[in-house]
Structure 1
């Protein structure tokens, strides 16, 4: 009991010091607002981390464009650690209420928050050194000139497994199931070890019916297709025709006798045939299952994780090119068919 009282006393003195530091810098934030923000993250980060606004400004050189790493995102070094800071003037209460309920290696970690009297909020996250999956799949013209700037087959499979694990955790392993509802390549970040992490929980919300998780599953299937093809989910041709990637794959696989040959032409040319053909067919089959029109027919994330785990284990880290001219389309190909968990 004495130890507990000492801890409470220490916490109180820390809060008083923080309050004093605000007053010295003429911030003196509204107490009710502070309590709301603190209560929103205290359970998640273990303790209330309120960064000083001046520290945020110093770490980002007053929000200098050179520190910008995305829309309203800034790279900063604080306490010797490289972090990512998001600036927003929107209400972050809902986002914080979600973040306090999740803690997973494949979800971006919230380190703390800051705000000012003008209504700006600053959310401080761990930094993902290799940027977004979007930058890797669809680099700009300058980056695309670098032949080394692309993901190998093994990296793509393991990245897919990573964000499948993150979604599976949100759907099935939180006290109340949560859906992300904005599953796309720009919200998948890649760290220095090419581990994928989900970011941007602005649209995440608790599950209220059985159809809600299936929306995430569909979007996940589209992401698999982007990883497989190197194409965007939706593209517009020169004649103005809009092509939906998941429908495009169905056309590719429509004629069974020609499906293998057509799939090879459809797969991302950056891979240069350095991938296991049976693995590519399995991934295409899984993506097709995830993007079925009937939402209830789509697999659960548990089933998706199981299938991707099998693919990851069977995918070698290094691949040699195979000759498409020698490959017979009527050869026997082992395909991992999506399975159901019981």
Structure 2
């Protein structure tokens, strides 16, 4: 820009006659050979010569004015372009910084109360937006990973109850990452949970690393997992009909968030009762995102089939195709577990197993048989109409053809009217009383013989 301005000043200071001959920009005329044309011009009368000189001067002035105007316009255009370039160069930078700050702020919402409240937690770094907690503190808080602190066990390790120095209980998942798959699952879970924040998804509080052993620190869910509640020592005795519907509703809400509100959508990929955790009030939250997929584009040839027997959708087993409808199928299995109190796969003989779908499907669609296969713990405690509705939803979810299965949003809207208001639905107490009369209900228990 400075060079252009200097050139313009030089042009303006040159004598007018410099521009008389195109291509000459020297400050003094150069000698040139006499041509026949110039000789002829000298022979012309002086009046004509003077007229030609005047015409030449006028042409020079006109040319100068045009050049000045063009130069001024060029300078103005260049200045405008320079200003625009500077403006747009700064704008993305500011917006990017702002976006990064907002992103970090959003990711840190769940972590901020945790970090600010417990000043004694010793951090040794950050993994993205996730705090890395000192390994020694993890070791001490689990009593050197004592067996009495074990909450559960997964494919790559165990989950321990840990008490931090502030008397704050958390859950610590210990992963043995000697294999590439285990390492990938650890990275995947930390990455996804650091971005996901929802009432019905487990909250990530931090992680820790000690060689090949990795640790994921999450909020503690006091009532453990749904699998233990249903199939453990209590056999579902703490899970009433409405509490089961509440768990089904919470799970559907968590899945809807993953499928409809995450960008890109997230497919859980390993939904099962052991990955549905329950807090002190039996609010359900999805956990274990090691096999989750952040988008639906999987390469069948490079994809390792994974999941849990009994929950895996048929199209995934046959074609390796994993979609949101695969999660819906697994959700249908969980719904059947809540309804029937049976495991997804049960042994019928030492060498043979039977899936809950194969066993239940003929009876689920028969209204006269359905009440007889319901979990004995909740039998005769619900409105028959509600029972039929939940069974119908489960049947749709476990259809072999993915296109016949509903979206999880449709499942959610089907369950909301069946859950009492105080548990997150829209069912009022008056509706419950009108429909359920234990003493005179057709579902009243029959006398035992």
In the other structure, the counterpart of 2:190 is 96
Match of residue 167 from structure 1: 255
Alpha-carbon separation, structure 2, partners of 1:228 and 1:73: 28
1:83 aligns with 2:170: yes
Q: How does 1:25-64 map to 2 (within 5 A)?
A: 38-39=127-128, 42=129, 48-64=130-146
Q: TM-score, normalised by structure 1?
A: 0.76
- Report the Cα offset of residue 239 of structure 1: 7.5
Give 1:74's match in structure 2, choosing from 160, 163, 169. 160
Q: Distance in 2 between matches of 1:176 and 1:268?
A: 38
SS of the residue 2:331 aligns to: helix
The partner residue of 2:243 within 155, 160, 164 is: 155
1:326 Cα deviation after fit:
10
Aligned match of 2:335: 224
Partner Cα distance (2:398, 2:262) in 1:
25
Q: In 2, Cα distance between the equivalents of 1:241 and 1:59?
A: 44
Give the secondary structure class of the aligned counterpart of 2:369. Answer: helix
2:211 aligned with 1:124? no
Residues 123-168 of structure 1: per-residue CA shift (max 9 Å, x gap): 100000000000111113xx45xxx833100000010000100010
Count matched residues.
283
Q: Retained in 2: the 8 A contact 1:167–1:301? A: yes
1:212-291 matches, cutoff 5 A: 212-238=323-349, 241-254=352-365, 259-291=366-398
Q: Quickly say closer, same or farther: Cα 1:54–1:326, change in 2 above 3 A.
A: closer
Change (3 A) 1:124 1:161: same
State the superposition RMSD in angstroms. 2.9
Contact 1:207 1:213 in 2 (8 A): no
| Structure label with greater radius of gyration | 2
Secondary structure in 1 aligned to 2:367?
helix
Q: Secondary structure at the match of 1:289?
A: helix
- Relative contact order, higher structure (CA 8 A, sep 6+): 1
1:185 shift after superposition: 0.4
Structure 2 residue runs of 5 or longer lacking an equivalent are 1-93, 102-114, 116-121, 178-182, 298-320, 420-425
Deviations 1:183-242 (A, max 9, x none): 110000000011000111111012225961000000101111110000111212248553
Secondary structure at 2:132 match in 1: coil
In structure 1, the residue matched to 2:201 is 107
Could you tell me which residue of structure 2 aligns to residue 204 of structure 1?
292
Aligned to 2:8: none
Gapped regions of structure 1 (runs ≥ 5): 8-13, 15-20, 23-28, 43-47, 328-342
In 1: Cα distance, 2:288 partner to 2:323 partner: 18
Structure 1 runs, 4 residues or longer, greater than 6 Å off:
none
Q: TM-score, normalised by structure 2?
A: 0.58
> Whole-Å Cα distance in 2 between the matches of residues 290 and 174 of structure 1?
22
